[in-house]
Chains A and B, each alone.
Chain A
Amino acid sequence: MKLRNKDSMPVLGGFLGAVALLAAAVLAMVSQLTAQPIKAAQERNRQQIFHRLGLPEFDRAGVGEESGEVMFFTVFKGNEKVGFVGQGSAAGYGGAIEVLTGFDRNGKITGVQILRHRETPGLGANVCERKFQRTIFNLTARAPEVPANKMLDQFTGKNASESGNWQVAKDGGKFEYLTGATVTSRAVIGAVDDIAAGFLVWRKKIEGEGRK
């Protein structure tokens, strides 16, 4: 019989199919085992970065609510709303830059962090990264929780109600930019502007709902 031949199509196909099935079974098992830890790790990372936004003390964050292009979270202490976080993105030099902005109850910006970016190391990345530079002279020093970054810190203290046309100085605005990283600077400032403007709209909406 032809079928007995070790090189016949059904034998080959069957073998490959069996290997693929086996691999799929193993993957399904691993995926199930790691589903919980992955979710926990992601949640932990999000919480951790929320804590670096300079928000008033809080103990939990609500689920995200989409409003336009921006995702908003409310943070609570007990049952009281103590602040808000907006997550938006803008196109940088190397793809999307995801920006987190923290607001206190009055709409004042408490801090800005970059969640994800792929900007050029040494140029655009300097706009996005809060990095504590360890040298041989401060090898054992404790790194500050939120290392300074003059590009990201220039928003702190500004109120969302002033937003709408935040621009880099080069475009006639009042914000600093890094030489050689204008595209990234523009993207980050634009993203924070969008988040702040979106925040006003969203806050009006949830306050409206609260009154009903």
Chain B
Amino acid sequence: MKTSLFGDLIKGIWKENPVLVLLLGTCPTLALTSSAINGLGMGIATTCVLTGSNLVISLIAAITPKKIRIPVYIVVIAAFVTVVDLLMQAYAPASLYEALGIFIPLIVVNCIVLGRAEAFASKHSPLRSIFDGIGMGLGFTLTLTMLGVIREFLTGGAVFGVKLIPAWTTDFLLPGAAPGAFIIVGCILAVKNYFNRRAAIRSGMLYVPPQGLNCRNCGICRISDDK
């Protein structure tokens, strides 16, 4: 069982990274990563909620009637988010709460949390669910922090508030705003898929993109008709 628990923990960081592979939680990803510290703070807050809600949901999944499981999960998640919100108000540095404050309640509707509740926690043991929550949260935190570092650097040559290029005095506004975030996330996705694909081809297997990114599973445009 050891390998499986470890697998639950690390799959969220790369193989099933919630932002880069599952493409969940795009709203906080774009809205909150204008600086590295904001991305880190949001990631940690989400990790706390995700771990707690995964634990409780895996405990009550067996007795929850199927028909009302979504409202029940939402109540559990909302309770955890409110607890995190209150704790942050009481103990977090004022500047961090100021920056994240209005986004904390939005963790309730972050699809990562509900997605993991529905796809993992409701079907697995509490212990595995905790590890899944921590792993997914870690993947989310790392991605958000990375994105924050990139955006903060491209905006003003700074990382975690420390200017690396002192001569860079005029901010470049695009990467700090949501459109820039979209472009950067797109570039990261492209790079990740390029490496995945190359690795697959080298090992002689057929490359299968994740379901959500596979053109053949989508009927919006006509690309899938090209053979």
Contact = CB atoms under 8 A, between A and B. Distances in A.
Interface of A: 6-7, 11-12, 15-16, 19-20, 23, 26-27, 30-31, 34, 37-38, 41, 45, 48, 116, 120-123, 133-137, 139
Given A135-B164, A137-B166, A19 B72 contact: yes
A41 B65 contact: no
A23 B78 contact: yes
B89 A134 contact: no
Nearest to B172: A122
B86 A38 contact: yes
Given A34-B89, A121-B34, A122-B155, A139 B162 contact: yes
Contacts of A45: 94
Interface hub of A12, A120, A137 (most chain B Cβ within 10 A): A12
Given A121-B34, A136-B166, A41 B67 contact: no
B1 to A, nearest CB: 30
A197 B107 CA distance: 43
A123 B174 CA distance: 12
A137 B165 CA distance: 10
A26 B34 contact: no
A139 B82 CA distance: 37
A31 B86 contact: yes
What are the 6 A-B residue pairs with the smallest beta carbon separation, nearest first? A122-B171, A37-B90, A23-B79, A135-B163, A135-B166, A34-B90
Given A34-B90, A122-B171, A23 B75 contact: yes
A6 to B, nearest CB: 6
Contacts of B60: 19
Contacts of B90: 34, 37-38, 41
Given A38-B90, A123-B173, A134-B163, A15 B75 contact: no
A121 B171 contact: yes
A27 B163 CA distance: 42
Interface residues of B, number: 33
A133 to B, nearest CB: 6
B163 A30 contact: no
B18 interface: no
B68 interface: yes
Given A12-B65, A16-B72, A37 B91 contact: yes
- Secondary structure at the A interface, as helix, strand, loop or mixed, is helix
Contacts of A12: 65, 67-68
A209 B210 CA distance: 73
B219 interface: no
A27 B176 CA distance: 36
Given A122-B155, A136-B163, A136-B166, A23 B171 contact: no
Contacts of B205: none
Contact of A134 (B71, B155, B161): B161
B24 interface: no
Interface in B40-90: 60, 64-68, 71-72, 75-76, 78-79, 82-83, 86-87, 89-90
B79 A26 contact: yes
Nearest to A16: B68
Given A20-B75, A26-B79, A136-B164, A6 B173 contact: no
26 contacts: A6-B65, A7-B65, A12-B67, A16-B72, A19-B72, A20-B75, A23-B76, A23-B79, A30-B82, A31-B86, A37-B91, A41-B89, A41-B94, A116-B98, A120-B173, A120-B177, A121-B155, A121-B173, A121-B176, A122-B155, A123-B173, A134-B163, A135-B162, A135-B163, A136-B163, A137-B166
Contacts of A136: 162-164, 166
